[in-house]
Amino acid sequence: METKEILKKVRKIEIKTRRLSDHIFGGEYHSSFKGRGMTFSEVRQYQFGDDVRAIDWNVTARYNEPYVKVFEEERELTMMLMVDISGSESFGTSTQFKKDTVTEIAATLAFSATQNNDKVGLILFSDDIELYIPPKKGKSHVLRIIRELIEFHPKSKKTDISVALKFLSSVMKKRAIVFMLSDFMDDDYEKTLKIAAKKHDLTGIRIYDKHDEEIPNLGMVQMVDAETGAVQLINTSSKTIRRNYKAHALKLTDYYINTFKRSGAGTISTRVDEGYVKKLLGYFKHKGR
């Protein structure tokens, strides 16, 4: 892809997602995630109803009347976007590929964080760490993240969520807001998820296509495994094959939902052809209560 075309795509995504983050998600994002702690703001005279534990005894003794310390929430946060760029993300049968929806959601979240003057970082992963961009502030930094999401070509097409979570735990020493965007066509990551979710405010965003869950009856079809490259002739008119395909997909989905729940992490699922705005907004509102 030429530079001019990449910049055009970046600009198009910026316009769409910036509008969403400005008018919809900005306030919800702010109220959904808490700061790292409380920081001292000022000292003022005691008012009826103030917590007596907040009295500043040194100032009170100096002025011979009660004064209290006022604290404010330390708002600066760090957001880490963990994005699956394995082969299965380049699949889509409706309006767009899964990776296009992933890019839009990631950009919306990044701009929402930037509105609150928070840092944003990026981890692109397959069955290995493909790219790590350390957290930083600013619009130009977010645009770089969007550019990488559009044009980055992974070395591997396979998926290993556990590898990505281990890397997160090793590089992020302080608590962060973490969004993992994937179709979660993987398992055996519960142990590493529990460790990461204990340390960070973690949410999994599952982006999937309707044909990830079931295949239509199209007769004999040549299929390619997006992650291994294996080619196989499949008889989609077989009820057994369609049933087994659906059962396998439901097994992975159940594993994702239950594993995240047991780990104390949040989950969002959105289909490529459904639209993600209401689901993200609903999640933020529920989390902010």
Model confidence over 223-237: pLDDT tens digits? 777 777 778 888 888
* 189 in the same domain as 133: yes
* 122 in the same domain as 57: no
Residue 160 pLDDT > 60, yes or no?
Answer: yes
Mean local confidence (pLDDT), 251-279 = 93
* 204 in the same domain as 257: yes
The single-letter code of the amino acid at 108 is T
Q: What's the distance, Cα to Cα, between the start and end of the chain in Å?
A: 44
* 183 in the same domain as 139: yes
Element (H, E) at 194: helix 190-199
- Residue 12: pLDDT band (50, 70, 90) is confident
pLDDT of the residue at 152: 92
Residues 6+ apart with CB under 8 A from 168: 80, 82, 123, 178, 196, 200
* 231 in the same domain as 94: yes
* 81 in the same domain as 69: no
* 267 in the same domain as 165: yes
- Residue 262: pLDDT band (50, 70, 90) is very high
Distances (CA, A) of 265 to 199, 260, 286: 11, 5, 14
Residue 213 contacts residue 250 (beta carbons within 8 Å): yes
Q: Which of 15, 47, 73 is the last residue of a domain?
A: 73
* 219 in the same domain as 127: yes
Mean local confidence (pLDDT), 8-19 = 77
Quickly list DSSP for 111-163.
Answer: HHHHHTT-EEEEEEESSSEEEEEEEE-SHHHHHHHHHHHHH---S-----HHH
Q: Which of 22, 56, 73 is the last residue of a domain?
A: 73
* 222 in the same domain as 250: yes
Residue predicted with more confidence, 91 or 160: 160
Above pLDDT 90, what percent of the chain?
Answer: 45
Mean local confidence (pLDDT), 119-148 = 94
CATH of the domain at 112: 3.40.50.410
Give the number of domains in the chain.
Answer: 2
Element (H, E) at 80: strand 78-84
Residue 41 pLDDT > 70, yes or no?
Answer: no
How high does pLDDT run on average in the chain? 85
pLDDT digits (tens, 9 = 90+) for 51-67: 888 889 998 898 899 98
Q: Which of 105, 144, 39 is nearest to 271 (CA)?
A: 105
- Lowest-confidence segment of 11-15, 102-106, 272-276 by average pLDDT: 11-15
Residue 188 has which token pair? 């055996």
Gap between the Cα atoms of 180 and 137, Å rounded:
20
pTM attached to this predicted model:
0.80
pLDDT digits (tens, 9 = 90+) for 176-205: 999 999 999 999 999 999 999 999 999 999
pLDDT of the residue at 68: 87
* 45 in the same domain as 95: no
* 142 in the same domain as 50: no
Q: Which of 73, 89, 123 is the last residue of a domain?
A: 73
Q: Between the ranges 14-23, 84-93, 166-175, 279-288, where is the mean pLDDT highest?
A: 166-175
Residue 23 has which token pair? 């008018």
**Residue 132 belongs to domain spanning:** 3-32+77-287
* 214 in the same domain as 83: yes
pLDDT of the residue at 195: 96
